[in-house]
Structure 1
Amino acid sequence: MKYSVDKQEKYCIVVLHEEKLDTTLAPKLKSELITLHAKGVKNIILDMSEVKYTDSSGLSSLLVGNRIMQEEGGSFILASLTDHVNKLIKISQLDNVLTILPTKEEAVDYVFMNEIENDLNSGENLN
């Protein structure tokens, strides 16, 4: 699987450099997402701008990433979806489950807003 990782203090951007996210790549993506989580990454932005096709196993790997990040109060954001992938996610009604934003920049803003909200909520719980 071809991909790049840009690790920042509050988030990590994973860019898939593949046209297909299918049964051959989905297990590798799941493994990478679990590894990043194990290394302490709380927020992942998955840039899918190069992915033109996905199947059910690809969607499953996205759901795994979403679940492991949300369990820790983090964010899993899909950014820059191609039309075909976006349509498939909507047909599967996963757009109600996954956080999808048009650009990486908007995804980064979302992470920071979520972090601020979590900090405020944890501060309220202390009082």
Structure 2
Amino acid sequence: MSDTLDTTVRYTGKRTAVVTVVGDVDLHTGPVLRAEALTVVGHGAPHLVLDMAQVDFVDSTGLSTLIVLLHASQEAGGSLRIAGVPERLLRMVTMTGISELLPVHDTVADALAALDVAGGAEDGADDAVGGVGSSR
């Protein structure tokens, strides 16, 4: 486990953002992910896709963070989807029943396409990249 978590935010539309997560999501770094993602929601992008392809480990605090972000995005009129989920995390999400609440997609492109079909994304994506690097 690492005490470092890096996130990068890419806005793909007026109300949609992809948050790429690199590192472990655990007791030490879960609050960092929560703060970064809640900032994105607070800045008007309640539809979030978490790209988890570079996440090596998630503990119960990390799973709790996903639930908090799901509720926060829904309260803001949006949604949360996770993409690129490593096999170990996919098993945890499935075994705990979180996958029933939180859509899981193979790729970020699949998650964004599903969001378009669900009516969550809008035209006019600005592709602005706002890199946020956090270490703890």
Gaps of 5+ in 2: 122-136
What residue identity is the alignment partner of 1:102?
Answer: D
Residue in 1 aligned with 2:72?
68
Whichever of the two has the greater Rg, that structure is 1
TM-score normalized by the length of structure 2: 0.80
Tell whether 2:16 aligns with 1:11: yes
Per-residue deviation at 1:80? Answer: 0.6
Q: How much identity, in percent, do the aligned residues show?
A: 24
Q: Which has the higher contact order (CA 8 A, sep 6+)?
A: 2
Residue in 2 aligned with 1:47?
51
TM-score normalized by the length of structure 1: 0.85
CA distance in 1 between counterparts of 2:54 and 2:12 reads 22
SS of equivalent residue, structure 1 residue 40? coil
Per-residue deviation at 1:13? Answer: 0.6
Query: Going by fraction, where is strand more abundant, 1 or 2?
Result: 2
Residue in 1 aligned with 2:6?
2
Q: Is the 8 A contact 1:15 1:48 kept in 2?
A: yes
CA displacement, residues 71-106 of structure 1 (integer Å, 9 cap, x when unaligned): 233120000100000011111111111111111111
Per-residue deviation at 1:109? Answer: 0.6
SS of equivalent residue, structure 2 residue 68? helix
Per-residue deviation at 1:53? Answer: 1.3
Within-5 A mapping of 1:28-107: 28-107=32-111
Q: Is the 8 A contact 2:47 2:120 kept in 1?
A: no
CA distance in 1 between counterparts of 2:120 and 2:26 reads 35
Gaps of 5+ in 1: 118-127
SS of equivalent residue, structure 1 residue 106? helix
